[in-house]
Amino acid sequence: MAKKKSYRQHIFYDWCKACGLCVAFCPKQVYRRNEEGQPVVADAAKCVGCRFCELHCPDFAITISAVDAPSRSAAAHTAQTSIEEAADER
């Protein structure tokens, strides 16, 4: 079975104006608001990577990244290896 993907939430507090949109739009209650109204990650494991928080932040203060996702160069290497293996089998 495929391993469940994990995601990391990066919050850039210098840009955050504490509007709360990210907290309101997250369907999994990953965030809670601190005393200043800014988001803090309450439960990162619930994140499904939908990026609603990132897309709705008016100040580009949140980014989501997949954890343990193969890098593009690793994926390209895998693709190249498959091509070479296929060529060897001919």
Structure-block tokens of residue 25: 């739009």
Which positions from 24 through 43 interact with ligand SF4, judged by CB under 6 A? Answer: 25-28, 30, 38-39
Instruction: Count Cβ atoms within 10 A of the Cβ of residue 63 and give its class: 0-12 exposed, 13-18 middle, 19 or more buried.
Output: middle
Tell me: does residue 51 bind ligand SF4 (CB under 6 A).
yes
> Least separation, in Å, of the C-beta of 70 and ligand SF4?
20
Within 8 A by CB and 6+ apart from 88, the residues are none
Q: By CB under 6 A, which span of 58-66, 71-79, 81-89 interacts with ligand SF4?
A: 58-66
If we measure between CA atoms, which residue out of 15, 52, 51, 18 comes closest to residue 35? Answer: 18
**Which residues in this chain contact ligand SF4 in the complex, by CB under 6 A?**
7, 9, 11, 16-22, 25-28, 30, 38-39, 47-53, 57, 59, 61-62, 64
